[in-house]
Amino acid sequence: MSIVPVLPSHAARDELPKALRRFRAEGASAEPVIFGAHRRPEAVMIPFDLYSQLLPAIERLAVERETEQLAARSE
């Protein structure tokens, strides 16, 4: 994936209708919208199709993190 510019929050809000049209047209392959204060990435909007595909991996990572934290506490 190429580097995507980080939009300020107000620009991301203005970009929302266009991003939704792109998400509908391109589905999971649509370019994400990355935004944050002072052009520092803080959040990302992605198509729901992509989120659905990523959800199992996200859940696996959350379980791994929790397992690592529990293991660290028991040491």
What is the tens place of the pLDDT at every residue in 22-40? 999 999 999 999 999 998 9
Kindly report the pTM of this predicted structure. 0.78
The answer to whether the beta carbons of residues 50 and 33 sit under 8 Å apart is no
What is the tens place of the pLDDT at every residue in 46-65? 999 999 999 999 999 999 99
Q: If you write DSSP's letter for every residue of 22-72 in order, what string do you get? A: HHHHHGGGSPPEEE-GGG---EEE--HHHHHHHHHHHHHHHHHHHHHHHHH
- Sheet of 33-35: strands edge to edge? 6-7, 33-35, 43-45
